[in-house]
Amino acid sequence: MSNQTETLFRALSDAVVGMDEDLTRQLSTQAVEQGIDALTAIEHGLVDGMNRAGKFFETEEYFIPELLLCSDAMYAGLDILRPHLKHAENQIRHKIVIGVVEGDTHDIGKNLVKIMLEASGFEIVDLGRDIPPQRFVDEAVKAQASVIALSTLMTTTMDGMAEVIKLLQKANVRERFKVIVGGGPISQSFANRIGADGYAAGAPAAVKLVKQLIGVAA
Amino acid sequence: MRRDRLTPVERFAAYGRGEPLDRLPCVPIVGNTAARVLGVKVSEFRGNGKLIAEAQVAAYRRFGYDVIRIFTDLYTQAEAMGAKVHYPEDETAYLAAPAIASVEEIASLQPANPHQDGNLPQHLEAMELAFQAVGGEVPVTGALTGPFTTASFLIGTENLVRLTLKNPAAVHQLCEVAYQGALVYAGAILDTGCTPSLTDAMCSTTVISPRQFKEFGQPYLKRLVDFIHGRGSAVTLHICGKTASIWEAMADTGADCLSLDNAADLEAAKVKVGQRVRLMGNVPPSEIMLQGTPAQVRTAVRTCVRQAHDNPKGLIIASGCSLPVETPFANIDAMLDAVRKIGWPVDADDLENES
């Protein structure tokens, strides 16, 4: 990798951390024009920046507003670089179906998990919020997903998480998916009780959990 | 089980004067759980002030706790300003859609008229009826959502938090109109005889930074607290989630009592702001009150008491947030009974021994 390319990756990463959407777009275009490999630019530039932002979030230097603006910059760059990915690079990713369970429309936590998973190279099927249990099952089967990620902030909707697992068992497809849960009222003991495969307290932790569950390198 | 000797009003008065008590004040924060006491559906509370009052008074009589809080959900004020709220048949309501979608529409928002808009008149009716029924023996409060949180329901949370960095002036414009609505509502709550009880969920550092709280949360809260103090009432401020780095800023609003989520450490709060504010908390509402056993509730209560019974400005044993609707009655009873058993004065050595 030339020094010049490395400098560009660093600038891309810094632009994401600096929440600068326009600069990220500009630098991504520059990478394309210079014929730099899109995948490397994404990984060493955009994703590196998003991961640094995630670390700032964990250490409380960044909060949700900062993390969202970093992700806006990352996505702006992705829009430019993704069309230049070689076909095969777009195919091999693990899929994750994510959503907020029915009875709740708080979706910031879900969106943060989605952003960090996407930055880690997973393909996300985002169902949105207020999603009935059966839809998680149907969409996960349809997408041939590896992971189902369930989120809620309301205690009233926690039973919906258990319901998803019951429906998976009933359809004899429980072993096909790792089910992870998270959100304000959720705890490890709740995850254990409903038979989920994992619980994570926040977005960066969710990435580690997914990688551990499906056995991909961190 | 030991019976209470004082009414809640007598207990708070004695506590404030430093006189002997029968036990520490205890507030499992009962919201829609009150529907279970009457055996009605949560959705029946919608637009029915009489039923809300009846249920809240019945729940108070059933459990014997120290504050009645007229509360169904955080959206009442935003709904009265145009936000769409979804009411499931028998669960707590949730936001279906914010009132507006863009910054350009902010100018179209008007502060709600509490005697006319949304379900505010019914909530005021509930406060008035509950106060008339039992206000002489127990403090009755009316939930008042803070301006920043209401702003998040008016334009959508993700929108709002992005704007805190991209367009701070627009956030202030939203907070100002939400504040104007809250101010008029606070006045109407005080007119019923009740005290406003402030909640500003989105001000949590789980969501925004301490710097953003100081810019967008605290100034509006302080104006509300000043207004309520001007009417002669003390006021409690609750912020959900993580708050450790804003306790001082919360105290700077002038609030008399901080109600802390279970994500907070009461002992650390005592050290930091206990000279200035009473503390209220913080048995975990989901993990312990909803999903735990009475024995776990008792242990959690003892932990809270151990951490902060010697708080200079006093301690109210409470749940860390409003209780989930289906919280078992046995756990609410266990909370009160644990506080009764500990009694007064608190014997710190005795707390170390498991009950």
Output the average pLDDT for chain A: 92
| Crossing angle between the packed helical segments B218-230 and B168-191, to the nearest 10 degrees | 20
The pLDDT-based confidence of A92 (bands split at 50, 70, 90) is low
Q: Identify the pLDDT of residue A85.
A: 86
Does any CB of chain A come closer than 8 Å to the CB of residue B48?
no
Q: Identify the pLDDT of residue A204.
A: 86
CB B98 within 8 A of CB B156: yes
Tell me if A106 and B157 make a contact (CB, 8 A cut-off): yes
Task: Round to whole Å and give the CA distance between B319 and B281.
Answer: 6
Half-sphere exposure for B157 (CA within 13 Å, toward CB): 18
Chain B positions in Cβ-Cβ contact with residue A156 (cut-off 8 Å):
88, 91-92, 324-326
pLDDT over 90 percentage in chain B: 96
Q: Do A121 and A201 share a domain, yes or no?
A: yes
pLDDT in tens, A28-83: 999 999 999 999 999 999 999 999 999 999 999 999 999 999 999 999 999 999 99
Does any CB of chain A come closer than 8 Å to the CB of residue B92?
yes
The pLDDT-based confidence of A218 (bands split at 50, 70, 90) is very low
Task: Round to whole Å and give the CA distance between B56 and B123.
Answer: 12
The pLDDT-based confidence of A90 (bands split at 50, 70, 90) is low
Chain A positions in Cβ-Cβ contact with residue B95 (cut-off 8 Å):
105
Q: Do A113 and A171 share a domain, yes or no?
A: yes
Q: Do A80 and A163 share a domain, yes or no?
A: no
* pLDDT over threshold 60, residue B114: yes
Q: Identify the pLDDT of residue A91.
A: 57
pLDDT over 70 percentage in chain A: 96
Q: Identify the pLDDT of residue A3.
A: 84
Mutate to test the interface with B, among A106, A156, A159 (most CBs of B within 10 A): A156
Does any CB of chain A come closer than 8 Å to the CB of residue B4?
no
Length of chain A: 218
Q: Which two tokens stand for residue B84?
A: 């769409």
Domain limit, last residue, from A89, A106, A136? A89
Q: What is the CATH number of the domain that holds A180?
A: 3.40.50.280
Q: Do A69 and A115 share a domain, yes or no?
A: no
CB B255 within 8 A of CB B293: no
Does any CB of chain A come closer than 8 Å to the CB of residue B164?
yes
Task: Round to whole Å and give the CA distance between B99 and B80.
Answer: 10
CB B64 within 8 A of CB B3: no
Q: Is the dihedral of CA B254, B257, B263, B267 positive or negative?
A: positive
Q: Which domain holds residue A63?
A: 3-89
Q: Identify the pLDDT of residue A156.
A: 78
Q: What is the mean pLDDT of residues B166-172?
A: 98
Q: Do A82 and A101 share a domain, yes or no?
A: no
The pLDDT-based confidence of A88 (bands split at 50, 70, 90) is low
Chain A residues 7-36 with a CB less than 8 Å from chain B = 19
Does any CB of chain B come closer than 8 Å to the CB of residue A213?
no
Q: Identify the pLDDT of residue B94.
A: 92
* pLDDT over threshold 90, residue B228: yes
Tell me if B161 and A64 make a contact (CB, 8 A cut-off): yes
Domain limit, last residue, from A41, A66, A89? A89
Q: Do A41 and A82 share a domain, yes or no?
A: yes
Chain B positions in Cβ-Cβ contact with residue A70 (cut-off 8 Å):
none
Cα dist. B43→B32, B35, B40, B90, B221 in Å? 9, 9, 8, 6, 30
* pLDDT over threshold 80, residue A217: no
Chain A residues 43-62 with a CB less than 8 Å from chain B = 60, 62
Nearest to A111 among B158, B207, B285 (CB): B158
Q: Do A151 and A184 share a domain, yes or no?
A: yes
Task: Round to whole Å and give the CA distance between B260 and B257.
Answer: 10
Gap between the terminal Cα atoms of chain A: 23
Which stretch of A119-123, B51-55, B218-222, B349-353 has the lowest confidence by average pLDDT? B349-353
Neighbour tally for B69: CB within 10 Å: 26
ipTM score for this prediction: 0.91
Q: Do A202 and A157 share a domain, yes or no?
A: yes
Helices (H), A59-157: 64-81, 108-119, 133-143
Q: Identify the pLDDT of residue A1.
A: 65
* pLDDT over threshold 60, residue B162: yes
Q: Do A99 and A178 share a domain, yes or no?
A: yes
Q: Do A195 and A208 share a domain, yes or no?
A: yes
Does any CB of chain A come closer than 8 Å to the CB of residue B267?
no
Q: How many domains does chain A have?
A: 2
Q: Identify the pLDDT of residue A86.
A: 80
pLDDT in tens, B284-325: 999 999 999 999 999 999 999 999 999 999 999 999 999 999
Chain A residues 73-102 with a CB less than 8 Å from chain B = none
Does any CB of chain A come closer than 8 Å to the CB of residue B244?
no
Q: What is the mean pLDDT of residues B52-69?
A: 98
* pLDDT over threshold 60, residue B44: yes
Q: Do A74 and A153 share a domain, yes or no?
A: no
Least Cα distance to B264 among B233, B247, B242, B290 occurs for: B242
Tell me the residue ranges of DSSP E strands in chain B: 26-27, 68-70, 84-86, 94-97, 140-145, 195-199, 236-239, 257-260, 278-283, 315-319
Does any CB of chain B come closer than 8 Å to the CB of residue A175?
no
Does any CB of chain B come closer than 8 Å to the CB of residue A173?
no
Q: Do A46 and A127 share a domain, yes or no?
A: no
Chain A positions in Cβ-Cβ contact with residue B87 (cut-off 8 Å):
none
Backbone angles phi, psi at B198, to 5 degrees: -85, 130
Domain limit, last residue, from A56, A89, A122? A89
Options 2.30.110.10, 3.40.50.2300, 3.40.50.1820, 3.20.20.210; CATH of B20-352:
3.20.20.210
